[in-house]
Amino acid sequence: QVQVVESGGGLVQAGGSLRLSCVASRNILSINEMGWYRQAPGKQRDLVASITGFGTTNYGDSVKGRFTVSRDNAKNTVYLQMNSLKPEDTAVYYCRALIGYSAYWGQGTQVTVSS
């Protein structure tokens, strides 16, 4: 069982940067995988980036080379550094913790990129 809380969203101009944070209520090393997902209006929720308990990372094709997922184990926090933002990145960004066969979702944080 875990709770995750996202923060750091906001309004940014195209080409700018933003850093999202996801704080978990337990040791993130005990979580199989922490992931960032996003959902724009009228579209499905897609993977942005993920990191396993061992530190293995994975990225969605549209963000490779621009976004970086990292973690601070002492703070039970996972970060998503977003650079070279595009209007297409506008979405609600969700943090997801995967423990065994169960998924736990945060409430989301809005990211809006203006053109």
Over the stretch 48-70, which tens digit does the pLDDT of each residue have? 999 998 999 999 999 999 999 99
Q: Is the pLDDT of residue 1 over 90?
A: no
Distance (Å, whole) CA 62 – CA 59: 8
110: left (phi over 0), alpha (psi -120 to 50) or beta: beta
Q: Which residue has the tokens 């601070």?
A: 72
Over the stretch 70-104, which tens digit does the pLDDT of each residue have? 999 999 999 999 999 999 999 999 999 999 999 99
Distance (Å, whole) CA 23 – CA 5: 5
